[in-house]
Structure 1
């Protein structure tokens, strides 16, 4: 029961953090939003780790930093995928890949779920895909609400066939999902060391985001979007980063208190929270498939809980 509550708490925190981060990105850009949210999350987990007072090993820090590198790449490729393909394809592919990979790894490591819990996990996997399905025109950046220019491979206005093959929505979504799944698996592998592996993970996130910003500034010679400014926008960025850090901590504890497969699948239900918040804040209508997904998620969580 404790693992279920922790993982669902992580899903709730991730869902709210993504919603708030998306609100910031709509007014700036994905990388500008991440450039604020990630350092805030690092500061939060650093303070909590210091207060917790637990020791650490270099091995656990190395696992955590590697997890952060994977998570940082996942964030960037996910937003890139949203710009290159329809959200109705991108979001389910990414979310499902993020959930399935830890389940596969947990199974290979000998984790066994009883029939009731296994049925609940399978329902949750189905629900992740259903609630993530939205209408979104291809080539539109959902974080900004404007058409995203197609990046060219050679700077001449044309893109080679190979580059075009690699840079498409579904493929990039699969890569992002694999990165998120690797993040879950690697944090589990980090083992003990208090919350210090999370500090290392956040540092890994920051390294990837900083590298992406530097590359864009040097290669493209332009800004990465409007700056995050104003009390409201800065406040949303701070809150998003704080909640994302809290979600990391809740998942980290859940994964080490119980099974990797169970913790990762329940945590990956976060798109349901984001969809509900969008419905409340922006009066966005839920499609029939999304309402079905929420019902399936509820059934899956119920089975996991009673199991």
Structure 2
């Protein structure tokens, strides 16, 4: 039960962070949004480490975290940029399903398979991601192809991040988070700083940027806690339910209407959590 709750909290945090990041990227470059959100979240990470660390950093934990952070930074830049340009409802389903399938496949390949109910719940989670995120139709084929490719790349990078996070082990604590944040800042900084002067006139939407960074770091921590307790093939798809939170926020705050397949997707997501928790 604890693993499911931790993974669900991580999904909620990442979904809300993605919504804030997408909103901020409408008014500022995606690379700048990612860089500022990552840097401004460093005090939160320091507090997490101070409260939970029982030993100093270990090179292997930092290295795995660094690799995961590099993948996550690439995924976030692609995700925020595509969400801002094409809309949440077009990008979230492809990205979310891809991010769920990658750790699911890796977990089934290298770890023990989950029980029948849990595996059924995982399948429901993947289907839920596709349904809850599907709102409208893509009208232009040229835009659709580019959007799908970018969403696949973003989902693959974010899914690979989850796979890498499963390697440090339970004794690593939250130190992989420190390595991941260092990698994301180093990877995004060149692109963000290169265009800083050209986009200097564009105001930074500080509130969504700060909220995105804080929620992203908190979700990262809860994901690590869940990875320490459960199988990657179960935790990965549950964490990847984050598009549900992203779309629900878009529905509530942007006043979009809930469709029948969205309602079905939310019900499937709830059922998936129950099946995995049994």
TM-score of the superposed pair, with normalisation by structure 1: 0.81
CA deviations over 1:158-199 (Å, ceiling 9, x no partner): xxxxxx9xx922122111111001110111112232211101
The answer (yes or no) to whether the contact 1:29–1:224 under 8 Å persists in 2 is no
TM-score of the superposed pair, with normalisation by structure 2: 0.89
| Structure 1 residue 61, shift from structure 2 partner | 0.5
- 1:122 and 1:111 map into 2 onto residues whose CA distance is 16
Query: 2:177 matched to which residue of 1?
Result: 198
CA deviations over 1:123-161 (Å, ceiling 9, x no partner): 00000111121337679xxxxxxxxxxxxxxxxxxxxxx
- 1:34 and 1:225 map into 2 onto residues whose CA distance is 18
| Structure 1 residue 48, shift from structure 2 partner | 1.7
| Structure 1 residue 83, shift from structure 2 partner | 6.5
| Structure 1 residue 21, shift from structure 2 partner | 2.5
| Structure 1 residue 211, shift from structure 2 partner | 2.2
- 1:195 and 1:64 map into 2 onto residues whose CA distance is 9
CA deviations over 1:40-91 (Å, ceiling 9, x no partner): 2233112321333332211111110110000001112223444676765532
- Which stretches in structure 1 are left out of the alignment for 5+ residues? 140-163
Query: 1:169 matched to which residue of 2?
Result: 147
1:188 to 166, 191, 200: 166
CA gap of 1:26–1:88, structure 2 versus 1, over 3 A, is closer
- 1:103 and 1:187 map into 2 onto residues whose CA distance is 13
Query: 1:35 matched to which residue of 2?
Result: 35
Query: 1:52 matched to which residue of 2?
Result: 52
How many aligned residue pairs are there? Answer: 274
CA RMSD of aligned residues (A): 2.5
Higher helix share: 2
Query: 1:131 matched to which residue of 2?
Result: 132
CA gap of 1:92–1:48, structure 2 versus 1, over 3 A, is same
Query: 2:96 matched to which residue of 1?
Result: 95
The answer (yes or no) to whether the contact 1:97–1:174 under 8 Å persists in 2 is yes
Q: What secondary structure does 2:258 align onto?
A: coil
The answer (yes or no) to whether the contact 1:92–1:132 under 8 Å persists in 2 is yes
- 1:138 and 1:215 map into 2 onto residues whose CA distance is 34
Q: What secondary structure does 2:166 align onto?
A: helix
- Which stretches in structure 2 are left out of the alignment for 5+ residues? none
Q: What secondary structure does 1:254 align onto?
A: helix
Query: 1:260 matched to which residue of 2?
Result: 232
2:266 to 267, 291, 294: 294
Query: 1:71 matched to which residue of 2?
Result: 72
The answer (yes or no) to whether the contact 1:124–1:296 under 8 Å persists in 2 is yes
